[in-house]
Structure 1
């Protein structure tokens, strides 16, 4: 199974953006963009089992890292003193203090580009199909399907975020759905560990 090596193609300069939103206990959070990295992978060509459909393309991955600021409550001990009968008396009392703190977060986005080739565009099952399976970091899965029932290559693209793994299966079918001659699930993108 071929899978192209990820090539780092750039790091963008930091940009600051502040977004105020309500948070728990009446606090507010703000977001500050820090940096972004991009990578590019090619995938394919992958063929249907009869060799009459083929798909290949590329995937562009962006990771944007940012600081999420929020107010956090801490309890501290504060010394309180007072005078009584000419003597100074002191005691430690707990006091609630709010501090502005942040944690690093990131959002991963991807765009898959592809071309679907149909080498038999006549008769029964005259369409080429590419079915993409996208597995996200939380384990949820969804699919994207594209067909080409014509002689010339068909370009397609789709985008999303937080993908753990993207695979593609190339098949033959009619204009409504794939019917057979499926390839194996082939790699398009796999998130770095």
Structure 2
């Protein structure tokens, strides 16, 4: 009889925990501050198209640095400086971008056979950098990339050859702003 009571009490407690977890979506959304689809973004001639999904998560990490401190050895009047490694907690974000690049002009002029998507990532500190992706086939192609500490992410879709984008640039479209 005692075993059955313990089993019933534990089942009720488990159901209450599961119900509480299902009814409180604020705790689930606290870890993911930005999660949204973007697109479609077109080239100027509408023969290249990109659309996808961006996800940005906050996280904390240790940032290590060297600090010079004066140290008094053996109570003498000589003070020497030594380097010590210290760390501090820094808040940042991680981003993940997944997208599909579609090429409708793959039979055209050799200078514009490929669809290109160029992403501009602007970090909080440091220089901007770019990521470029191409699709020279007739079927849509999927891509993804990740990074850290992005303040702004923008995309432009264009047309080009196998080596670089050459023309029909669309407009820069922001897909994430911190």
TM range (shorter): 0.5 to 0.7
CA contact (8 A) 1:126 1:174 kept: yes
Task: Please tell me whether residue 10 in structure 1 is matched to residue 29 in structure 2.
Answer: yes
Q: Quick one: structure 1 residues 127 and 107, their matched pair in 2 at CA, closer, same or farther if it must change by over 3 Å?
A: same
C-alpha deviation, 1:37, in angstroms: 3.5
Q: Which position in structure 2 is the counterpart of 1:131?
A: 118
Q: Quick one: structure 1 residues 130 and 157, their matched pair in 2 at CA, closer, same or farther if it must change by over 3 Å?
A: same
Question: What is the alpha-carbon distance in structure 1 between the residues aligned to residue 59 and residue 101 of structure 2?
Answer: 30
Match of 2:170 among 176, 183, 191: 183
Normalising by structure 1, what TM-score?
0.61
Match of 1:117 among 102, 107, 124: 102
Match of 1:157 among 117, 132, 144: 144
Q: Quick one: structure 1 residues 51 and 37, their matched pair in 2 at CA, closer, same or farther if it must change by over 3 Å?
A: closer
Gaps of 5+ in 2: 1-26, 64-86
Q: Which position in structure 2 is the counterpart of 1:90?
A: none
C-alpha deviation, 1:140, in angstroms: 1.3
C-alpha deviation, 1:41, in angstroms: 1.4
CA contact (8 A) 1:9 1:40 kept: no
In terms of fraction of residues, the more helix-rich structure is: 2
CA contact (8 A) 1:9 1:38 kept: no
C-alpha deviation, 1:44, in angstroms: 0.8
Match of 1:105 among 90, 113, 123: 90
Q: Which position in structure 2 is the counterpart of 1:148?
A: 135
Task: Please tell me whether residue 46 in structure 1 is matched to residue 41 in structure 2.
Answer: yes
C-alpha deviation, 1:38, in angstroms: 4.4
Judge which range, 58-67 or 127-136, deviates more: 58-67
In terms of fraction of residues, the more strand-rich structure is: 1
CA contact (8 A) 1:44 1:57 kept: yes
Deviations 1:137-162 (A, max 9, x none): 01410000000011111100000000
Gaps of 5+ in 1: 1-7, 12-35, 69-101
Instruction: Tell me the matched-pair count.
Output: 132
Normalising by structure 2, what TM-score?
0.66
